[in-house]
Structure 1
Amino acid sequence: MQEQTQIFGIRAILEAINAGETIDKVFLQKGLHGELFNELESLINKNAINKSYVPVEKLNRLTKGNHQGAVAQISPIAFHDIEILVTTIIESGKTPLFLLLDQLSDVRNFGAIIRTAECTGVNGIIVQKKGGAPVNGDTIKTSAGAVFKIPICKVDHIKDAVFYMQASGIKVIAATEKTNNLIYDISFKEPCAIIMGSEDRGINPSILKVADDKAKLPLLGDIESLNVSVACGAFLYEAVRQRLS
């Protein structure tokens, strides 16, 4: 499996996108204009590639080459198609267990969650194309290599994944403090997908509305929330406990 690589230069990135490379994120120089730069922006938007506008100093730190105002990170993994993955798991006779991450932004949290998901038999992780943490060196290191062992899918919107799971007979459970249900009141024995929210705002309200169930962890101390990767581990191991009993 390839290490994450960077490419720089507008033409090089255009060619990479057109060649079907899995681009994780493109860093673009703030305030830059020009015909070729506009063409790159248009192609990035058309392919729903994650992008960020940054000062030129950031690009200079990312590469020593002539970046022309654009640096792209190529993902070290190939992302899976959600429909093929869900169908394959259902047809295998396994009881599906999926994880949906609603714009989780910290790469170390992402890596830790991937590691726990692999250890608990999660069949696949679904993330949004835009706004989420990239799969980079820190993700790989924190996941202890689990990123290469568990299928990861990218979708335009997490809500699309929720609807697809529900249409496939998979119950969607939101991990949120905005409920009276404790994690121990919910059944994880049937086919299910667990949604974890972002570090700062949790699960998007519009996604909470369409979830089949909501559950929270009991918090007995003074601090009102857990780190998302720790909370995710608690949810996944409750699913494991129920399925083993």
Structure 2
Amino acid sequence: MLLYGRNPVLEALKEGRVSGLMLARGVEDAFEKEVRALAQEAGGLRVKFAPRIELDQLVGTTQHQGIVAEVEDLAWASVDDILDRAEQRGEDLLIVLLDGITDPRNFGAIIRSAEVLGAHGVVVEERRSAPLSPVVAKTAAGATSYLPVAQTKNLPRLIDQLKEDGVWVYGAAGEAAEDAAKIDFSGKVGLVIGAEGEGLRRLVREKCDGLVRIPTRGRVQSLNASVAAGILLYEATRKRA
């Protein structure tokens, strides 16, 4: 898989997952020096240089920030990996469940927020999600190297299983009566984020222990899914701290 963007490629270099590396001619000296140092630490990986337009054509976008790497395909974790991560850290589980997030940039941004704000992992339903792609990795800015992202065949069934394990599951819904700022988010928590426009599916909504909303003041009544996820994660981690 071709990975592009400075943060995701640098993180992949640190993890030793890069097998080929290309820089655009003319990148700033400080960045070239940083890349060369990491490539050397990664076993003396050779850095190739090419015109920026060649990188544009290689990855089909101009948003590569002057660096492209060849890496193994991103691998899905398991839900058990996420549960184990919380247990190993001695922390109450904080897990993000995505219901129909098919836009790769939203998906990547949610992964980034989840990693930055201390969630233990993200789960998507197999047939209702964007794939783990270079666009997701770039938008996640390297977070895919550190945060488990898992698939489940049936999200409502997984919610039931989590509830049996003592996880309290909150679904994000603009019309909900409960203000997210008034929830304490203590204990094991799952946050469910639905697709923009459609929101949560009826069955997923019914499986949640509670629905919460983010108060809005403007004329536009809805938030981008990744922004909503970031706000709820911030509220959860703030209260839990």
Contact (CA 8 Å) 2:115, 2:147: kept in 1 or not?
Answer: yes
SS of aligned partner of 1:193: strand
Which of 144, 169, 177 is the equivalent residue of 1:172? 169
Alignment correspondent of 2:139: 142
Cα 1:229–1:103 change in 2 (3 A) is same
Q: Which runs of 5+ in 1 are unaligned?
A: 5-61, 63-73
Alignment correspondent of 2:56: none
Q: Does 1:120 align with 2:113?
A: no
Deviation at 1:136, TM superposition (A): 0.8
Q: Does 1:94 align with 2:91?
A: yes
* C-alpha distance in 2 between matches for 1:223 and 1:158: 29
* C-alpha distance in 2 between matches for 1:160 and 1:152: 18
Deviation at 1:154, TM superposition (A): 0.4
Contact (CA 8 Å) 1:100, 1:126: kept in 2 or not?
Answer: yes
Alignment correspondent of 1:225: 222
User: Across the two proteins, how many residue pairs are aligned to each other?
Assistant: 175
Q: Which runs of 5+ in 2 are unaligned?
A: 4-58, 60-70
For 1:19-98, list aligned pairs within 5 A.
76-90=73-87, 92-98=89-95
% identical equivalent positions = 30
Deviation at 1:157, TM superposition (A): 1.5
**TM-score under structure 1 normalisation?**
0.67
| Per-residue Cα deviation, 1:212-245 (whole angstroms, up to 9, x for no partner) | 111000011111101111111100000121122x
Alignment correspondent of 2:43: none
Alignment correspondent of 1:157: 154
**TM-score under structure 2 normalisation?**
0.68
Deviation at 1:75, TM superposition (A): 8.1
- Letter matched to residue 214 of structure 1: L
* C-alpha distance in 2 between matches for 1:193 and 1:146: 19
Cα 1:240–1:92 change in 2 (3 A) is closer
